[in-house]
Structure 1
């Protein structure tokens, strides 16, 4: 990122005075002084800044609540991985007990997981005009985490052992997946409620990549609109 001092060295004094008079304050990037003022606001939003104040990682209370609730989606979709662990350690059921109504509602129809996925992705992640980058990043993390559940599901359905070493392996995989989902739910929701940015292993990198692709697409669209004038 270029600094304002480096931009000062590249522009002549007369040009700087005209730019500073017309655009208040001038943007540190070289191409931004040639964009209209309304484009500057649009570009700030494209760079992930919260229009209601703060940087891209700041969040208002409604954004925190929405982001925290998103982490329920992968947990509800993968709660069945905990059947072995919950049967061996009944005290763990006390943690799941408050979520029983949500689990029953989620499992009431086989279409619910798919419909929730479409809603979160297209109505939240792909809707920067209605949701801040903070909400969209956390929602994308929850979606990626849910997509990763395909792999343990395939392992379980492909082998489906009923006893022996194979069953022990499946039980270990399922219990590990369930614990990871439970920790992700607790950590992600708690961090969001505190206004922090939770970063889950592997998942955060994929969410960052999606955010970068979206940012680059919006930047190219803005610059293209400006060059077309």
Structure 2
């Protein structure tokens, strides 16, 4: 679904909304960064922004509800902006599932720990891919549609 010509401010707001799941999911990349330290150079320009985000207590909680209440539920924004914000919120919620599973089973060695490392690496690569895809589409004014997530986001708008 595309909405023709999308104003630049709407594209910016839509692309910026994907920073929430990206920042909240960066911790899944810790094993990749340990194995490939040079990969951190790609994300280095974002470090000051990430540092500021993490220095504020409950920033994730506040950002989540601010995005939901100020953008998704605001009829003054176009459906394009609200859809992208909702899709970003769904991505953020989905990032909690692996964290809960890890805390329930909490493997610290052996095969379980290797599976955790593989899971973290997979989630991180998937997150970076989704972030790049969604931001890229928002920048050019098209609507990114992630499988499963887009359908759920569309139903909520």
TM-score (norm 1): 0.65
Higher-helix-fraction structure: 2
Q: Which residue of 2 aligns with 1:209?
A: 155
Q: Which residue of 2 aligns with 1:7?
A: none
Whole-Å Cα distance in 1 between the matches of residues 4 and 95 of structure 2? 27
Task: Confirm whether residue 198 of structure 1 aligns to residue 144 of structure 2.
Answer: yes
Within 5 A, what are the aligned runs for 1:2-41? none
Instruction: Pick the aligned partner of 1:93 from 10, 33, 40.
Output: 40
Runs (4 or more) in structure 1 with deviation over 6 Å come to none
Conserved? CA contact 2:25–2:95, under 8 Å:
yes
- 1:109 Cα deviation after fit: 3.1
SS of 1:107's equivalent in the other structure is helix
Instruction: Pick the aligned partner of 2:120 from 174, 182, 198.
Output: 174
Gap runs ≥5 in structure 1:
1-54, 212-229
Question: Relative contact order (C-alpha < 8 Å, sep 6+): which is higher?
Answer: 2
Q: Which residue of 1 aligns with 2:21?
A: 74
Q: Which residue of 2 aligns with 1:122?
A: 69
Q: Which residue of 1 aligns with 2:97?
A: 151
Alpha-carbon displacement from aligned partner over 1:83-119 (angstroms, at most 9, x marks no partner): 0011112232122111111211121134100000110
Gap runs ≥5 in structure 2:
none
TM-aligned CA distance change 1:110 to 1:81, over 3 Å: farther
- 1:56 Cα deviation after fit: 4.4
Within 5 A, what are the aligned runs for 1:104-119? 104-119=51-66
User: Highest CA radius of gyration, 1 or 2?
Assistant: 1
Whole-Å Cα distance in 2 between the matches of residues 181 and 138 of structure 1? 15
Whole-Å Cα distance in 2 between the matches of residues 86 and 176 of structure 1? 13
CA RMSD in angstroms comes to 1.4
